[in-house]
């Protein structure tokens, strides 16, 4: 069945970009955020769309904030622009103890409005108009818009799907030009669920060092790796400090997506520059969220703190949801072929029936099966012909959503 082209238009309002700067007129709100807007007009949808885990922010964080709201009037005021000193110290401790990353809290990190703002500010800081930024394809869609907003040129390097969405190191080398300025890399990866190996990351770092490029690392899912796979962060290599800009988040680890809080680690020289952009756009990260982040870290000692127990339970539950989602996808093999994710909470299956586009499929799943998925082409050219499925939803909702897809997908049998 063909979907009316006019359906596409309803994804976003028709834009009038008269008088709007090109750098903004050319970008768009990502499909990840547009699909839920569309779905809000469809009664009773279930979401396998946006990456929001079903869990609430844990009580040990909420209680600390409630107490501070009652007793500490500083919570309602701007913090120091780079972040509250005690939070920055707690972040530096955690980086050192949990990941072997050394960062001077005074000069080599700052607290941002989520990893998102840190990455956007970084790209705006280092990319000049026309500079090329290499990134894997598929890739988290917001990075593409952030590069365009900085007036850079995204240059896509396809991942190797059949090898579990592996990095194609030669592919990166082949795309280097005199205009290449940076590499953006999300690990563990959204939307594929890939976790890159130490060897892959070091090979990429070698390219960056030899060509004087920045690596902008998005590590929003650094804690969320399955099957006890080793996790390696390039930020743990001191020799890369001049080249590496690593962005982290409290959103996923402590189920704090709405608090908008994260941080960035880089050389003091780069931090100084990025802070100018952070000041121009945000002044400081929300102070109330900095209190929350501080409470989160205080409860996390790498052993048996409330924070540690919360994170362990979260990983265990998401791991079970991953198994469940994969088992349900196995039953849909006439519709989807997938690589099992090794991190984050996404799976990025290829659409099996010939000639079925990802936008068509996502819209039909939305309107006919009432299940939200994200069309893959929003994640770069290699995303075409795929959809992103998040398994962050509660198990009951996951179950019902897959039931609906299975009932609907009978037409392809
Ligand atoms: C890869 C990736 N980076 C960054 C973010 C946003 O992180 P934050 O909430 O810290 O801005 C997301 C959210 O889904 C993400 O998937």
Supply the CATH number for residue 15's domain: 3.90.1150.10
67: in domain:
no
Phi, psi of 210 (to 5 degrees): -65, -30
Which atom of ligand 1 is least distant from the CA of 140?
1
Residues in the chain, pLDDT under 70: 1-14, 413
Give the Å distances, CA to CA, from 375 to 326, 358, 370.
Answer: 19, 5, 15
Q: Which three-class secondary structure state does DSSP give residue 154?
A: strand
Listed residues 264, 298, 332: the one ending a domain: 298
What pLDDT, on a 0 to 100 scale, did the predictor assign at position 83? 98
- Classify each residue of 257-282 as buried b or exposed e, where b means 16 or more C-beta atoms within 10 Å of its C-beta: bebbbbbbbbbeebbeebbebbeeee
Cβ atoms 375, 359 nearer than 8 A = yes
Q: What is the CATH number of the domain that holds 270?
A: 3.40.640.10
Q: Measure 370 CA to ligand 1 centroid, in angstroms.
A: 25
Q: Say if residue 103 is in the same domain as residue 206.
A: yes
Cα–Cα distance between 386 and 323 in angstroms, integer? 20
245 in a domain, yes or no? yes
Q: How far apart are CA 200 and CA 192, in angstroms?
A: 16
Atom 5, ligand 1: which residue's CA is nearest? 116
- Asked if 89 and 208 sit in the same domain, the reply is yes
Distance 334 CA to ligand 1 centre (A): 32
Regarding whether 85 and 30 lie in a shared domain, the answer is: no
Its domain, for residue 52, covers 5-56+308-412
Q: Can you give the pLDDT at residue 30?
A: 78
Domain count along the chain: 2
On whether both 210 and 348 belong to a single domain, the answer is: no
Q: Is 59 helix (H, G, I), strand (E, B) or coil?
A: helix
Atom of ligand 1 nearest to the CA of 50: 14
Give the pLDDT of residue 13.
56
Question: CB neighbours of 21 closer than 8 A, spacing ≥ 6?
Answer: none
């Amino acid at each position: 069945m063909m979907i009316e082209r006019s359906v596409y238009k309803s994804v976003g309002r028709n834009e009038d970009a008269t008088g709007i700067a090109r750098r903004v007129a050319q970008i768009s709100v990502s499909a990840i955020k547009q699909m839920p807007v569309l779905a809000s007009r469809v009664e009773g949808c279930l979401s396998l769309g946006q990456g929001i885990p079903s869990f609430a922010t844990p009580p040990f964080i909420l209680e600390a904030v409630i107490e501070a709201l009652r007793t500490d009037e500083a919570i309602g005021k701007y913090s120091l622009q780079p972040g509250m000193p005690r939070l920055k110290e707690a972040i530096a401790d955690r980086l050192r103890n949990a990941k072997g990353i050394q960062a001077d809290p005074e000069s080599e990190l700052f607290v941002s409005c989520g990893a998102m703002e840190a990455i956007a500010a970084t790209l705006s800081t280092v990319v000049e108009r026309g500079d090329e930024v290499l990134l894997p394809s598929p890739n988290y869609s917001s990075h593409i818009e952030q590069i365009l907003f900085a007036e850079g040129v995204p240059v896509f390097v396809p991942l190797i799907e059949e090898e579990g969405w592996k990095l194609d190191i030669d592919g990166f080398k082949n795309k280097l030009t005199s205009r290449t300025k940076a590499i953006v890399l999300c690990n563990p990866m959204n939307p594929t669920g890939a976790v890159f190996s130490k060897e892959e990351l070091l090979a990429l770092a070698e390219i960056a060092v030899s060509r004087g490029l920045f690596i902008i690392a998005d590590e929003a899912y650094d804690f969320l790796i399955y099957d006890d796979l080793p996790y390696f962060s390039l930020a743990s290599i001191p020799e890369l400090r001049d080249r590496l800009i690593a962005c982290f988040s409290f959103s996923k680890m402590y189920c704090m997506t709405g608090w908008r809080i994260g941080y960035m680690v880089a050389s003091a020289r780069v931090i100084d520059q990025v802070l100018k952009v952070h000041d121009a756009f945000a002044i400081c990260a929300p102070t109330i969220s900095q209190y929350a982040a501080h409470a989160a870290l205080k409860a996390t000692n790498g052993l048996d703190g409330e924070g540690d127990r919360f994170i362990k339970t979260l990983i265990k539950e998401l791991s079970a949801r991953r198994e469940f989602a994969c088992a349900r996808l196995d039953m849909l093999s006439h519709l989807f072929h997938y690589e099992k994710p090794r991190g984050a909470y996404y799976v990025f299956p290829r659409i099996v029936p010939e000639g079925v586009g990802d936008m068509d499929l996502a819209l039909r799943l939305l309107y006919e099966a009432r299940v939200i998925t994200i069309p893959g082409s929003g994640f770069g050219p290699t995303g075409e012909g795929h959809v992103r499925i998040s398994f962050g939803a509660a198990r009951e909702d996951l179950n019902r959503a897959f039931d609906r897809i299975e009932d609907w997908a009978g037409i392809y049998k």
